[in-house]
Amino acid sequence: MNNLMQHIIALALALTPIAGAHAQDTVDSAAKYPDYQEDVFMDMDFDTNIATPAAASGIKKEVVKHQRKLAEQFKDRYTVDLMRDGEVVIVSVPTDALFLPNDTLFCKEAAGQLTPLLAPMADPYMYKIIVAIHTDDTGSESYREHLSDERIRTVYDWMMNEIDRGVISEDLVIVPYSMGSTMPLVPNDTRRHRKENRRLEIYYIPGPELLSRAAAHTLK
């Protein structure tokens, strides 16, 4: 296992007790989707998590159509991409809009930037949510890792607070990743490029309810 995966898994495990306090399945939910458990996803590496749950070949068209509609809802305000052949929506938010330089606590505008992204999470089984923080390559590796760790913890804690406030369900699966500078979008060779690389990514991965509705042809 490389250092990055060790780092990501260690962070996920460190956050698991926090999630456990807020993400207990109800009896009905557990009965409906018994294999859909947050602790399982917390132990997965990043690429495996992005690929899970998988859409069966017979429902891919329905899933992609639905996900394109979700992407359209966000494209005027955020940078939006699709992956997994259109099955997964990725929304990117510049961390410069969430944190002051070198800071790890939200600036006053951060909640306003993120709150519109919560609406699709109303049904906790429609999407599995992955949140990933990226930095540029400024500073030492240990500094970048620390900054990334603390910033993703701030994002995760904010989402847990939204659960406490009843904005999103405690059954929503949220998996955090601290990526540091390991996945740049562009080379870190100019100020503009470094700014592009400093980002929070939110992945909307089809959950069991979305896949079930796609199979039943009841997705809107």
Q: Are 206 and 55 in contact (CB under 8 A)?
A: yes
Strand, helix or coil at 196?
helix
Q: What is the pLDDT of residues 85-117, one digit of tens each?
A: 999 999 999 999 999 999 999 999 999 999 999
pLDDT single digits (tens) 44-90 = 999 999 999 999 999 999 999 999 999 999 999 999 999 999 999 99
Of the chain, the percentage scoring pLDDT greater than 70 comes to 86
Per DSSP, 120 falls in state G
Is the pLDDT reported for residue 10 higher than 70? no
Side chain identity, residue 123 = D
- What backbone torsions phi and psi does residue 69 show, to the nearest 5 degrees? -65, -40
List the beta bridge partners of residue 83.
88
pLDDT at 20: 41
Express each pLDDT in 166-211 by its tens digit.
Answer: 999 999 999 999 999 999 999 999 999 999 999 999 999 999 999 9
Inter-residue contact 49 to 176 (CB < 8 Å): no
Confidence of residue 19 (pLDDT cuts 50, 70, 90): very low
Residue 180 backbone dihedrals phi, psi, to 5 degrees = 60, -135
How do residues 132-145 score in pLDDT, each as one tens digit? Answer: 999 999 999 999 99
The reported pTM is: 0.86
Which has the closest alpha carbon to 94: 218, 210, 207, 192?
Answer: 192
User: Phi and psi dihedrals of 130, rounded to 5?
Assistant: -115, 130
Q: Tokens 């309810």: give the residue.
A: 209
Query: What residue type is 73 in one-letter code?
Result: Q
Level-2 CATH architecture, domain 3-215: 2-Layer Sandwich (3.30)
* Mean pLDDT, rounded, for 22-33: 56
**d(C-alpha 197, C-alpha 210), whole Å:** 31
Question: Where do the structural domains in the chain lie, given as residue ranges?
Answer: 3-215
pLDDT of residue 220: 82
Question: What's the chain's average pLDDT?
Answer: 89
Rounded CA-CA distance 27/181 in Å is 41
Residue 22 has pLDDT above 60, yes or no: no
Neighbouring-strand partners of residue 133:
178, 200
Helix (H, G, I), strand (E, B) or coil at 142: helix
CB-based contact 210:127 (threshold 8 Å): yes
Name 26's Cβ contacts closer than 8 Å, sequence gap at least 6: 171
